[in-house]
Structure 1
């Protein structure tokens, strides 16, 4: 039984040149939508890009974008695409085996979370640059991260989902309940005391590894790194906002790159902690994304780490801030060459907006263009500006589809609309972001008022939020 689906060839596509060296890009559509510059970067390097799409990619959407002559995926021949039904190594190998047999594969590049382990094993086996099988495994499991770098870990204990009380001897509250292997803040919940734990346990899968950790008070940051053979070539610190102050969730609601208001000593603490973790997991080559809390006493605590590019718009923020083409840098690292890097000369920010409950009908904005990135399967290109250009709104990004039901932003999948802006390093981007958000309106309709076809666009009436 085959483990991959054929999404169908795009009209007019030519057969790929099997004599050119190739790069295998492993991803999902929602992630690749941010990294479509990889196609041009591969072409400039004389490479044929070969794409493996995972189970989170709807087959009909992939086929629709490949038929669209205005979408970059329409340039791919049928033999350049595989659509697999799960993320296991065996299934990945089944999908890529013909390429490995018939083509000269020069690089394996993973740009999503769910294939980190399988892609790491494939690259390592082929003798190609990658984070390494050990680093890939550890970065997919928060418990292994605690064990690998105990000096950076919060106080933690492992919880059996079948338990009805906190583990014996655990007296650290407030705490955080955290699944060891999920992503996008899924299942992460604040625990105020022992009484708050039992009602949450039925919501987790049987046998799912759950961590109960001390809740660290402090600002949250991520460190993005370009690493080659264990050496950090470039690293930047991104400041994060979450909705934890008024909910029991920890959903990220904003990013600012580079992080403002840090002293040089604090920057050094975060960068040193990042290097310490990468060394602890024997990270090889690629882009890493580590998340830390920095307490008022300047204690750096590891929240989680990823052996792949960061999510949301962070790679776009760093491009706006530095002028670097991070897609080209990712490909260069996968090829074993040193990428071009640059320091920040501007500051960029992404802010997710609150939304009303109801079915998403429309999003309007007074100044910045609105991009339905979820429906269109592609993000806008956001070119860097000159260093002294005043703050500007770049885009309004809609990650959901028309007709989607908007509710709690309990994890990253629950968010819907964000604004991206940038300005000089000394600009007040908080104020600029507030003004940008004020100019955006999210229109919803009650579920009972929805048309028969969810993808239709109802009139922009009903409840709106600014």
Structure 2
């Protein structure tokens, strides 16, 4: 517990302000973790929110003015909206709270504040991943150097010294920025001639990696860690759109991962544990992504010192019954969370969409939730272990009027479905039965920048209603 007031005796401030937890996030991420507000209240804590630059000010104001949204409860002094993610900016924002309140936890639930939040928690003597783990997990090059036994063959590409590309011995390869997220800027390259034209697309001085293209199934391992001790780990299988494209956008997750032998599960869990030890991970939730080759070689793709993205926390709640938001808060408070093994299997599948301007999404089965527009995700409570397979929700992450095109990174996706079933259910076969007739409605048009979103041959200003039905 951290208290920077002059006296250890109870004060009027103690009565006016209950103990607090600082939650560092952005609106798009918090939309999945709104149960944190209730979990904090149940533990006698006031949540104090720090929102980053990815949160539009007008959208934050709308949420706080909406009586139906949990952020309506926030008082003006209970949130900060920052212009950047630097440690100095974060310190300026939270120091008044540290003087006026008893801060018992610092909890970061997004990617961009991982380093600053890790430094803040460690400085205050509060549980967190630790400054070293936070720094390494924000940089893929540091991950390669920290755990070389798990790394693919790689070289560092300096845009001003391009000769490193021509001498790289492991084509086909992948070009990726060291510090971006959501598959942004990740491209498959067949040879040196494919790399050089891409280099101007990256920022000046941006750290770029050229890595061997590792083939094999992709997985993530989610882990709850307390003081370096692994309390719970789960393996999630991943789908991507890499087949036939140069992209690596994730298009599906299944928790727990099916079609793994016990030996393969052990390989993945051991690799994850080795990495967490190497980075000296302290306390919190980690998310590490691996490839498992046909020869059962485990290769680290990237790792994060925060909860996973997309619906993975929802999938694990459906699969295990665990309240992961409560677990995150308990870890940040230094207490042991409740954990459970998987009793069901859950899956999220992102759908293909027609190019054009999004007008509507309809479904004959599971309810449609416009999570981007509404600023909140549905709760999706777990069901009995033997309940039949069912579709829980259709999630729309984009807004009406958004232009849909290539799914070149995570921001390009639009609609997904979430379903679950008993552990022995093949959810690939169950998906068409449990989520019927999802229709993505668009207007085929040309955007203002002249990019034809309706395919070749569309004239400027032309709009035509189209739709795609997923069965």
Measured against the shorter chain, the TM-score band is over 0.9
Give me the whole-angstrom Cα distance separating, in 2, the residues matched to 1:428 and 1:357.
30
Give me the whole-angstrom Cα distance separating, in 2, the residues matched to 1:415 and 1:436.
21
Confirm or deny that 1:309 pairs with 2:307.
yes
Report deviation, 1:308.
Answer: 0.1
Q: Following superposition of structure 1 onto structure 2, how do residues 102-113 of structure 1 map, counting pairs within 5 Å? A: 102-113=100-111
Instruction: Judge conservation of contact 2:445–2:464 (CA < 8 Å) in 1.
Output: no
User: CA 1:405 to 1:16, structure 2 compared with 1: closer, same or farther past 3 Å?
Assistant: farther
Structure 1 partner of 2:124: 126
Pick from 39, 59, 62 the counterpart of residue 61 of structure 1. 59
Give me the whole-angstrom Cα distance separating, in 2, the residues matched to 1:78 and 1:17.
19
User: CA 1:165 to 1:191, structure 2 compared with 1: closer, same or farther past 3 Å?
Assistant: farther
Structure 2 partner of 1:81: 79
Instruction: Judge conservation of contact 1:16–1:79 (CA < 8 Å) in 2.
Output: no
RMSD: 1.7
Q: Following superposition of structure 1 onto structure 2, how do residues 203-222 of structure 1 map, counting pairs within 5 Å? A: 203-222=201-220
Structure 1 partner of 2:358: 360
Structure 2 partner of 1:41: 39
The 3-state SS of whatever aligns with 1:255 is strand
The 3-state SS of whatever aligns with 1:324 is coil
What TM-score do the two structures reach when normalised by structure 1? 0.93
Give me the whole-angstrom Cα distance separating, in 2, the residues matched to 1:166 and 1:350.
39
Give me the whole-angstrom Cα distance separating, in 1, the residues matched to 2:331 and 2:300.
25
The 3-state SS of whatever aligns with 1:249 is coil
The 3-state SS of whatever aligns with 2:242 is coil
Structure 2 partner of 1:136: 134
Confirm or deny that 1:117 pairs with 2:115.
yes
Give me the whole-angstrom Cα distance separating, in 2, the residues matched to 1:27 and 1:61.
14
Structure 1 partner of 2:274: 276
Give me the whole-angstrom Cα distance separating, in 2, the residues matched to 1:163 and 1:202.
13
Report deviation, 1:429.
Answer: 0.1
Report deviation, 1:434.
Answer: 3.7
Give me the whole-angstrom Cα distance separating, in 2, the residues matched to 1:153 and 1:449.
41
Give me the whole-angstrom Cα distance separating, in 2, the residues matched to 1:447 and 1:104.
54
Structure 2 partner of 1:189: 187
Structure 1: tracts of 5 or more residues without a match: 1-14, 451-458
Instruction: Judge conservation of contact 1:346–1:425 (CA < 8 Å) in 2.
Output: yes
What TM-score do the two structures reach when normalised by structure 2? 0.92
Pick from 455, 461, 467 the counterpart of residue 463 of structure 1. 467
Structure 2 partner of 1:93: 91
For residues 260-296 of structure 1, what are the alpha-carbon distances to aligned partners after superposition, in whole Å with 9 as ceiling and x for unaligned? 0100000000000000000000000000000000001
Give me the whole-angstrom Cα distance separating, in 2, the residues matched to 1:253 and 1:247.
13
Residue-pair matches, total: 444
Instruction: Judge conservation of contact 1:443–1:460 (CA < 8 Å) in 2.
Output: no
Instruction: Judge conservation of contact 1:120–1:131 (CA < 8 Å) in 2.
Output: yes
Instruction: Judge conservation of contact 1:368–1:396 (CA < 8 Å) in 2.
Output: yes
